[in-house]
Amino acid sequence: VSTWSSVPAGPPDPILGVSEAFKADKDPRKINLGVGAYRDENGKPYVLSSVKKAEESIRASNPDKEYLPITGLPEFTKNAAKLAYGEDSAPVKAGTIAVTQSISGTGALRIGGAFLGRFYPHAKVIYLPVPSWGNHTPIFRDSGLEVRGYRYFDKKTVGLDFEGLKEDLRNAPEKAIVLLHACAHNPTGVDPTPAQWQEISDIVKERQLFPFFDMAYQGFASGSTDRDAFAVRHFVKEGHQIALSQSFAKNMGLYGERVGAFSLITADAEEKARVDSQLKIVIRPMYSNPPLHGAQIANTILSTPALYHEWESEVKGMAERIISMRERLYNELTHTHKTPGEWSHIKSQIGMFSFTGLSEAQSVGLAEKAHIYLTKDGRISMAGLNGSNIDYFAESVARAVK
Ligand code: PLP
């Protein structure tokens, strides 16, 4: 018998499954709203002009292909931290942020999970919002943390369950770890307001919780990298020692290049040096050192003022196209098609995704009857909509709901 004869078949990835079904569909009207990658007005993947220019300038400098250090390109990690925390942030100025390059956001979360699993001095319990990005639970479970949930989304209002969230965080054991989506919550598209973030910060302080921010969409939510960093910067200003995962997949369109960063705020230079040394010991046996090219691209953009400005306007352009699709979808559903129900959440939600409120039966029905593919939870990627397919999409949703 084969060595692997008793390996059980695992379930397919729910999101990648949607893409496969889409690929197999031959209907010309088909729409893929499952993937979490930006698409341009023509439904095509989009390589940012600032990225192309950065690549040209890297090529022109005739770089070698030597290994990076274990924690990555030092200039890149410095600039990544500056982007997240802000140039005038106290720990940036004091040089107390321990930061490492990571294999995009997923890798940052995994390094963070492993570091907390090894060194967090209190109960290794992490609270995730319900629902959360599907990969959070396996990432932290594989890191050896106990995963629990706090209420986040209210199905009735298709909005934030703020009372439930507060109650669950207040009832969490003291010093538990709490994962917070910094902006553009995936999958719901529902974010706390600045005032609500302040209250969350107060509860985190009261309960001495440890805040771990996942910032996969900085700039993508509002179009401004500063505005989208509000929660992170507010917590830091309030004195929280946060952990932070950053991804450059979405905001620079560097999906397959796998560019990210993980950071921790430490007390002083001596503590930072100890934490840095242990981050290296966590990372070295996992993958030795991170990939070079993507970090060079991101760093070239972050460190070249002309490219930085172009990038900022491109991020804004992507965010604004998504916001305009939200407006248009809302108008089509309510005014053109008189779709039963309340649809204002389509406009108030933020970022790449929208929880439409469509049921599992309606979501599956859209694939079968209209060749429109979304996840069973009714989540759509707004970036998959454009001027050519939005009418057909709205009409199909209206038909599914009526
Ligand atoms: N965190 C959240 C909330 C996400 O939505 C994603 C991507 O979809 C990630 C992290 C990580 O993505 P990546 O590993 O491509 O940076």
- Find out whether 102 and 287 touch, Cβ atoms under 8 Å: no
- pLDDT of amino acid 140: 98
Give the mean pLDDT of 227-250.
Answer: 98
Question: Residue 19 — very low, low, confident or very high, per pLDDT cuts 50/70/90?
Answer: confident
If DSSP codes are grouped into helix, strand and coil, which group holds residue 149? strand
The predicted-structure confidence for 141-190, as pLDDT tens digits, reads as follows 999 999 999 999 998 888 999 999 999 999 999 999 999 999 999 999 99
**Whether 82 is catalytic:** no
**pTM for the full predicted model:** 0.96
Give the C-alpha distances (Å, rounded to integers) separating 306 from 54, 209, 253: 11, 41, 18
- pLDDT of amino acid 330: 97
Angle value at C-alpha 87, between 82 and 92, nearest 5 degrees: 70
**CA of 216 relative to ligand 1 center, distance in Å:** 5
The predicted-structure confidence for 326-380, as pLDDT tens digits, reads as follows 999 999 999 999 999 999 999 999 999 999 999 999 999 999 999 999 999 999 9
The distance of Cα 327 from the centroid of its chain, to the nearest Å, equals 23
- For ligand 1, atom 13: residue with the closest CA: 105
State the closest ligand 1 atom to the C-alpha of 185, by its place in the atom list counted from 1: 3
- For ligand 1, atom 12: residue with the closest CA: 105
**CA of 59 relative to ligand 1 center, distance in Å:** 28
pLDDT beyond 90 at 18: no
ipTM confidence: 0.99
Ligand 1 contact, 201 CB (< 6 A): no
* Mutational test site, ligand 1, from 16, 35, 102, 133, max ligand atoms within 8 Å of CB: 133
Most confident of 20-24, 281-285, 356-360: 281-285
Q: Where are the alpha helices (DSSP H) in 46-161?
A: 49-60, 74-85, 90-94, 104-119, 136-142
**CA of 18 relative to ligand 1 center, distance in Å:** 17
Q: Which two tokens stand for residue 370?
A: 């209209």
- For ligand 1, atom 7: residue with the closest CA: 216
Q: Which of 53, 78, 124, 250 is catalytic?
A: 250
The distance of Cα 268 from the centroid of its chain, to the nearest Å, equals 29
pLDDT beyond 90 at 387: yes
**CA of 186 relative to ligand 1 center, distance in Å:** 9
pLDDT beyond 80 at 14: no
- Find out whether 341 and 357 touch, Cβ atoms under 8 Å: yes
pLDDT beyond 80 at 265: yes
If DSSP codes are grouped into helix, strand and coil, which group holds residue 213? strand
- Find out whether 260 and 72 touch, Cβ atoms under 8 Å: no
Ligand 1 contact, 247 CB (< 6 A): yes
- Find out whether 173 and 203 touch, Cβ atoms under 8 Å: no
- pLDDT of amino acid 344: 94
- Find out whether 328 and 86 touch, Cβ atoms under 8 Å: no
- pLDDT of amino acid 17: 81
Q: Which two tokens stand for residue 292?
A: 């070079």
- For ligand 1, atom 16: residue with the closest CA: 105
Give the mean pLDDT of 201-209.
Answer: 98
